[in-house]
Structure 1
Amino acid sequence: MSVVTLDETITFALSVKDRHASAAWYSDMLGFTLKMHIDEAGWSELETMTKGVTIGLGEQAEPAPGNAVPVFGVADITVARTALEQAGVRFDGPTDTMEGMVSLATFYDPDGNALMMAQDLSGG
């Protein structure tokens, strides 16, 4: 049995210079469908053809090419984080919450690969 229970979603977060241009590229080249642009958060999401899998585009002045971070959906980020911390998993700072949108927490596997978990707060 696992330490946390994940939901049936995963987002691959990519850092990009221009979310709008990148979203258009993913749409035009791969047929992904734009779900949202959240300009105040510097974030865009696209649906892939795989149920429950999205691509998230985080806008950064200096993106980290080749670095995709899987973001696993959880029902309760506090419960999931506590369970992982009790199992000795290292986190990168506190949980970040954007009210009415999402709560996010970055953690690391034993080799230092970044992973995230997210709790959807949008009610959708």
Structure 2
Amino acid sequence: MSLISLNDTITIALSVKDRHASADWYQNMLGFETMYHADEAGWSELQTNTKGVTIGMGEHMEPVPGNCVPVFGIADLDAARAKLEDAGVKFDGETDVVEGMVKTATFYDPDGNALMLAEDLS
């Protein structure tokens, strides 16, 4: 039995210089479909050809190649975070909230690999 219960979605988060150009590339090269561009949040998402798996792109001035963070969907981020913190899991700062869109929290595995939980607020 696991400490928390994830849902059936995963977003693979990438850092890119230009979300719109990157979305076009993923669409043209791999057949992914752009779901939306949230320009005010600097975020875009594309549906991959695998059910429940999306590519999320955050815009950065100087993205670091290989910077890929798996983002696991969860129904109650606050409760999950509390359980993980009680078990000694290290989080990177406070939970981020984009009202009406998403709540996210980055945490680390024992080797320092970043992972993220995301609760859909839409």
TM range (shorter): over 0.9
Runs of 4 or more above 6 Å deviation: none
Confirm whether residue 16 of structure 1 aligns to residue 3 of structure 2.
no
Unaligned runs of 5+ in 2: none
Measured in 2, the distance between the counterparts of 1:31 and 1:118 equals: 25
Report the counterpart of residue 7 of structure 1 in structure 2.
7
- Report the Cα offset of residue 67 of structure 1: 1.2
Measured in 2, the distance between the counterparts of 1:64 and 1:119 equals: 26
Indicate the larger mover: 17-26 or 62-71.
62-71
- Report the Cα offset of residue 86 of structure 1: 0.7
Identity among equivalent positions (%) equals 70
Report the counterpart of residue 39 of structure 1 in structure 2.
39
TM (normalized to structure 1)?
0.97
Instruction: Give the aligned CA root-mean-square deviation in angstroms.
Output: 0.4
Report the counterpart of residue 86 of structure 1 in structure 2.
86
Q: Aligned pairs, how many? A: 122
Unaligned runs of 5+ in 1: none
Deviations 1:33-75 (A, max 9, x none): 0001000000000000111000001000010111110000000
Measured in 2, the distance between the counterparts of 1:53 and 1:80 equals: 21
